[in-house]
Amino acid sequence: MHMPGEEASRLAFFGLFALQHRGQESAGIATSDGHVINVHSQMGLVTQIFREQDFYPLVGDMAIGHTRYSTTGSSLLCNAQPILVEGYHGKLALAHNGNIINTLQLKNQLKEQSNCSFSSTTDSEIIALLMANAPGTSWHQRAFHCMNVLNGAYSFVALTEESIIAVRDPLGIRPMCLGKINNGWIVASESCALEHIGAEYVRDVDPGEVIVINKKGFESHHWSGGSGQRAMCVFELIYFARPDSIMEGSLVYASRQQMGAELAKEHPVDADLVIGIPDSSTAAAVGYAKESGIPYSDGLIKNRYVGRTFIEPEQRLRDIGVRQKFNPLSEVISGQRLVVVDDSIVRGTTTPHVVNLLRKSGAKEIHMRVCAPPIKYPCYMGVDMATQDELVAANTDLAGIKKMTGADTLGYLSVQGLLKVVGGQSGGFCDACFTGNYPVPVQLQLSKLSLEG
């Protein structure tokens, strides 16, 4: 963000706090006052990392920030972002969302051509070094050079001493939006971050767009080297994004309600009550209930403070498992034929526990309805779901999954139904984890630790 004449770091903090759901391993903020870049990053949650005194060095009216969950590189402090590098064009801090596929090749080229050394094991450092050493007389030209060589998913912001450069990959795989605040500009992964700090959502950043913000103002440039194809991650709309964010022109909450309604059309069932697995399935459950005419109710209460903790639970608590996360409303559930709406089944390890919990609370029947089609393929573009071996739908048929969950019936939203709801029937979305149709050529053996060792 650029907040002319104001300190940007505190607003950046509240923006990151709104985006905590996008990564809980580490977080950080980098600022510039036009002369010097300062960075504070740590392992942990945003509220754990920043104390009052941590803001003292974070001076200047330009700031970028990041919350991380790892896709390439381990969960280590050296991989926390924003990452600060120094190159031919001086110092540059970078925060990246996504996953680069040709990392090893680019790393070797950087070593040979620019004699770069590396302090992390992330693909984000490679982007930062590429930007800091790219040919071109302006930052948008240097960003275009990076887009020529990067293969994969990337929305990133780079901070130099004088400018902020925001870049969204040509397929638009990961989200990015633009907002306005007073006489300043802000870009963020999701619009919920804008609203929380009083900024106004302007629009999504276009796939292949490069935005440069500095004291001279705002510039937008479009890279012309792409095919024009778009491939926004549809899983953002199903699960990852916050429901109060706007993506691809629609409120995510409304998209999820429509997914639930479509699920009700595809998999109707005679039942008494619809419940959702909180919080990410609530909107879809409401949509299912409205379409089917079956009443909706809360049935499970989620402990909102369950998240990543550095304290390992003792074995007795670990055995309680899903009970730590959800508490059933037995008086609501008991004796009812339930439709239970979930956003997705990835490994399939949680669902049997939820079904069991609901049965113990007296549910008469349990009809699982899942808002994502079966996930059969791993993601190489920024969502670290699981390996193919771990994905239950890659290795088990529907009857087997139903048996494993312990539900009376099981129904998944179809790929066609999903795409109909999001307006992606003629393209525009990545659905590779359901179909195997990757929008970029992927090396199927790529590991998140490919830059280590």
Binding site for ligand SF4 (CB under 6 A): 173, 233-235, 379, 381, 383, 430-433
Residue 68 beta carbon to ligand SF4: minimum distance, rounded to whole angstroms: 17
Q: Distances from the Cα of 375 to the Cαs of 70, 344, 386, 408, in angstroms?
A: 20, 8, 10, 21
Residue 431 beta carbon to ligand SF4: minimum distance, rounded to whole angstroms: 5
Residue 17 beta carbon to ligand SF4: minimum distance, rounded to whole angstroms: 24
Tokens read off for 72: 């390439």
Q: Report the distance separating Cα 278 and Cα 285, nearest Å.
A: 10
Task: Give every CB contact of residue 337 below 8 A, 6+ residues apart in sequence.
Answer: 270, 271, 272, 273, 363, 364, 365, 367
Residue number with CB closer to ligand SF4 (98 or 299): 98
Paired strand residues for 178:
187, 203
Residue number with CB closer to ligand SF4 (101 or 194): 101
Residue number with CB closer to ligand SF4 (146 or 430): 430
Measured distance between the N- and C-terminal CA atoms of the chain, rounded to whole angstroms: 36
Residue 21 beta carbon to ligand SF4: minimum distance, rounded to whole angstroms: 15
Residue number with CB closer to ligand SF4 (92 or 101): 101
3-state helix, strand, coil in the chain (%, to 5): 30, 25, 40
Residue number with CB closer to ligand SF4 (299 or 428): 428
Half-sphere exposure of 209 (CA within 13 A, CB side): 19
Residue number with CB closer to ligand SF4 (317 or 444): 444
Residue 236 beta carbon to ligand SF4: minimum distance, rounded to whole angstroms: 7
Q: Distances from the Cα of 150 to the Cαs of 51, 78, 286, 300, in angstroms?
A: 36, 22, 41, 44
Residue 378 beta carbon to ligand SF4: minimum distance, rounded to whole angstroms: 8
Tokens read off for 188: 């963020």
Residue number with CB closer to ligand SF4 (127 or 383): 383
Helix H, strand E, coil C: the string for 114-158 is HCCCCCCCCHHHHHHHHHHHCCCCCHHHHHHHHHHHCCEEEEEEE
Q: Report the distance separating Cα 85 and Cα 131, nearest Å.
A: 10
Residue 66 beta carbon to ligand SF4: minimum distance, rounded to whole angstroms: 19
Q: Report the distance separating Cα 221 and Cα 361, nearest Å.
A: 57
Q: Report the distance separating Cα 419 and Cα 40, nearest Å.
A: 41
Q: Report the distance separating Cα 308 and Cα 105, nearest Å.
A: 33
Alpha helices in 335-422 (DSSP H): 351-360, 392-395, 398-405, 415-422
Residue number with CB closer to ligand SF4 (240 or 326): 240
Residue 46 beta carbon to ligand SF4: minimum distance, rounded to whole angstroms: 24
Strands 365-370, 337-342: parallel, antiparallel or unpaired by DSSP? parallel
Residue number with CB closer to ligand SF4 (121 or 344): 344
Q: Report the distance separating Cα 220 and Cα 275, nearest Å.
A: 45
Residue 69 beta carbon to ligand SF4: minimum distance, rounded to whole angstroms: 13
Residue 169 beta carbon to ligand SF4: minimum distance, rounded to whole angstroms: 11
Residue number with CB closer to ligand SF4 (119 or 416): 416
What is the DSSP secondary-structure string of 28-49?
EEEEE-SS-EEEEEEES-HHHH
What type of residue is 1? M
Half-sphere exposure of 287 (CA within 13 A, CB side): 28
